[in-house]
Each structure stands twice: as structure tokens, then as C-alpha cells.
Amino acid sequence: MNRPFDAWQVELHGHRVIYRIAGSGPPVVLIHGMVNSSRHWEEVALRLAADYTVIAPDLIGHGDSATPRGDYSLGAHAAVIRDLLAAIGLDRVTVVGHSLGGGVAMQFFYQFPQRVERLVLVSSGGLGRQVSPLLRGAALPGASAILWACAHPRLLNGLGRVGGGMRGRGSGKGVYLQAIARALRPLERPDARKAFLQTLRSVIDVQGQRVSARDRLYLLRGFPTLIVWGERDHTIPLEHGRWAHVAIPGSHFVTLPRAAHFPHLEDPEGLAAALRRFLETTEPARIQDADWGGLIAPARRRRRSERLAA
């Protein structure tokens, strides 16, 4: 007998892709962030499973999916999710992305808009340059050796204990220390460290985030979009979420006071409630291939006019 949120496996292009699934109803895809995995969505997924089919993949290079030498760009991750959904028979879905997964979710919408009914960005990357010094430092040459030292089990266990003690005394820094330990734990494996660095360097350099979706947010005008941010986030600034909300007319914006950068772990109840409210109060969008030109044409006409004027 299968348990809720069991792991399933499919082979795509010769590589193992793991995904977890729960519930029944309209499909909702949950895309995790860097060094997270589908497992980290469990508390949110089970809160939605009574009314929705919830699918959470392990991105290539993460969790229990394969860690091949290859392309770890946002576009490559989006294409694998498209192929996974096709393999399990899902055509159109609501897409939810956290952190790196938010960048993947936006890229998925940009590449495959006809497959997206709604978009949810949770503490998302790709909305501004600023990012934590820890991630910028991981993009430096020689970071592999540093990661090996930081991912030592003894150090991670110590961080977790200290963070737990501080959190028990009411210190917000305890949550942050626990989040660091949790994020670094999967990097104990050499192949996971290599995949992490390839993924990280595709979106971040020493100056911050190097990939931005800001120039394409106009495509989401009027599209059902929810932006959720932890009010205690020190990894990607809350201001990125506020800016995106203004840049996407008609979008919904929710902050979670109890959460930092990992709302699905720090406040799964609050995040699930925000997701459910959004799903229940918005209608799924439907973009056909023929509609796409109409969305981008105004910008194209403006650029043509500017060239002629020059």
C-alpha cells in the first residue's frame, strides 16, 4: 500500500528523476530550491492533498534524482519538469517555486506558458541582484573544498544543536542557523556538491544574482500570480517580493511573520493556507500558443518605434 507523498521514479533521457505525489484534484507542482528536495515540501503537500493533486519533483542534481555532468541552468530544469509532467500525463498545472525553484517556475512559464494555470513565487530568486553573502561566497573559485569542510557531519550536528537552543530561547538567529545546517546537509556527497556548484554558478556570482526575470514580468500582467515571502528572510530580501508585486499588476502578495527563507519548513501551515486561499479565489488561466505573440507584441512594437526614431 502506498503512503501519502511516496517517492516515484521515471527515467528521462537516460537519467533518473524522482518525484513525490499526494492527493487528488487539480494539479499543483511544487519546485524546491537549491540543496532542498521534494521531501521538504511534505508538510505543505499533505495540507493541500485533500483537494489537489500535489506533485513535487527532485530537480536534477538534487535529492535522489540523478547528478549527471551537464546543463543545470534554469531553462534545463524547466525542460525536465515539462518532460516529467508529460510522462505522468499532466498537461496544465499550477506551478509553485521556492528560491531557485521560483526562478525555475518563472522560466517554465516563459518557455511553456500554455502549460501554466497559475504561478506562485515563494521567497523567489531572479527578482533582484541582492543575495546572502553565504551564497555569493559559494560562487568563488575553490568553494568545493570549503563546502566539503562546511558539510562535515560533526559541524552540521553542532550547528543544528546551537540553532535549536537559540530558537528555544526565542532568538531569530537560531532559525537561521538551523536553516544553514539543513541546507548544507545534502552536500555531504561529492556528486551533490558538484551539482550544487554547477547550479549555483548558473544563477549567482560574487556580485549576487546574475539571472533576472525583471525584464519579462510584464508577461504576467493579469495572470493569476501569488508572491509569498518570509518576513525574517536574510537570504533574499523581502523588498524583492514587494517590488515584484508592484511590477505585476493584479498579483497577490502575502508575508509570513514566522518564516525566514524556508516558509515551507518554518511555517508550512501558513504557507499552505496562503496557497489554498489563492487557489480557491482565482480562476485558472489558459494561454494558447496563438496568444503568446499578442503578449509580447506591444514591447516589440515599442522597440521598433525606438529604432526608427533613432
Contacts of 227 (CB under 8 A, 6+ apart): 120, 121, 124, 241, 244, 245, 248, 251, 252, 253, 254
Distances, alpha carbon 218 to alpha carbons 24, 124, 199, 239, 244, in Å: 33, 17, 26, 18, 10
Q: Which amino acid type is present at position 145?
A: A
Active site residue 261: yes
Q: How far apart are CA 88 and CA 82, in angstroms?
A: 10
Q: How far apart are CA 108 and CA 103, in angstroms?
A: 9
- Count of CB atoms within 10 A of residue 35's CB? 24
CB 162 within 8 A of CB 240: no
Sign, CA dihedral 202-204-210-214, equals positive
Q: How far is CA 207 from the centre of its chain?
A: 21
What's the N-to-C CA distance of the chain in angstroms? 68
CB 197 within 8 A of CB 143: yes
Catalytic residue among 62, 261, 264, 267: 261
- Count of CB atoms within 10 A of residue 231's CB? 12
CB 157 within 8 A of CB 177: no
- Region for 39 from its dihedrals, namely left if φ exceeds 0, alpha if ψ lies in -120 to 50, beta otherwise: alpha
Q: Which amino acid type is present at position 35?
A: V
Catalytic residue among 32, 202, 233, 264: 233
Catalytic residue among 99, 123, 202, 251: 99
Task: Tell me the catalytic residues.
Answer: 99, 233, 261
